[in-house]
Amino acid sequence: MNYIFILIDVIAVFIFCFSFLIAFFVYQNTPDIMDRYEKTSIFSFYLSIFIGAIYFLYSLSNGMTLDNIGNYLTVLMLVIIYPTLVVLAIKLYKQRCLKLA
């Protein structure tokens, strides 16, 4: 059970939720719901990577040492993993719905 905490980081979750919220507001007027979810997840993926890279570059200039570089790299890795899982889930769901129809 303790291994699940490896995949949870407060800053990475905040970055993912923030980027997903922004992407949702950008694509909220798209008429097709599956198209909206797909566009939202892809845009939030790129936005999460961008915000995570900015956070990592900021931490480079603000007191990051070799002792604590793992914390910042973990945030960057999780910011890439979270939206990737959402994009894959939506694409698999869309593919399954098309196959059943």
- Which tokens in the block code for residue 54? 């900015």
- Asked if residue 5 has pLDDT above 80, the reply is no
Considering the entire predicted model, what is its pTM? Answer: 0.83
- Asked if residue 70 has pLDDT above 90, the reply is no
- Residue 36 to residue 59: CA distance in whole angstroms: 34
User: How many structural domains is the chain composed of?
Assistant: 1
- Asked if residue 4 has pLDDT above 90, the reply is no
- Residue 45 to residue 42: CA distance in whole angstroms: 5
Please measure the distance between the N-terminal and C-terminal CA atoms of the chain and give it in whole angstroms.
Answer: 39
Q: At 34, is the pLDDT very low, low, confident or very high (cuts 50, 70, 90)?
A: confident
Q: At 64, is the pLDDT very low, low, confident or very high (cuts 50, 70, 90)?
A: confident
- Asked if residue 40 has pLDDT above 70, the reply is yes
Q: 77 lies in which domain range?
A: 2-100
